[in-house]
Amino acid sequence: MSELLAGIELEKYDKSKHNASEVLKDKVVALYFSAHWCPPCRNFTPMLKTFYDELKSSGEFEVVFISYDRNEQDLKNYMKEAHGDWYHISFKHPKIQELASKYSVNGIPALIIIKPDGEIITKEGRTNVQAKTSPKVTISEWKSQMN
């Protein structure tokens, strides 16, 4: 994950902490900007969870949740209710605003698919996931743009 998330500790719902550079290495990464209070987010998140669950065993795809929730408890409730077993950046971490700015996130939900160096594969990740194409086909298309 080169410099984009270098030095960042990602968390899982179980409160375990992981070095972003290690757990995201050589993977297609989806930055998921979302919040519990957002109805379109709550509609899309279960679709993303299903998509993620179908690819999880392959080890080639990872989601990093970037919360726009109003408080940490909302973030935790959202993860418990609807999320896959993916990572998130700590609540209110300064990297959240930096990433939102870098990728020009103007509305949520937003699913931005990036290469290990942080370069954008597509800002249309949400559309790709909702297209009902096989997750394996979708990830292959994303991976073909990594080199």
Higher per-residue pLDDT: 147 or 23: 23
pTM of the predicted structure, to 2 decimals:
0.94
Q: How far apart are CA 131 and CA 14, in angstroms?
A: 31
Q: Distances from the Cα of 67 to the Cαs of 61, 101, 120, 133, in angstroms?
A: 19, 14, 20, 26
The pLDDT value recorded for residue 6 is: 83
Query: What is the per-residue pLDDT across 58-93, written as a single tens digit (0 to 9) for each?
Result: 999 999 999 999 999 999 999 999 998 899 999 989
Q: Are strands 17-19 and 87-89 parallel, antiparallel or unpaired?
A: unpaired
Domains delineated in the chain: 9-143 (3.40.30.10)
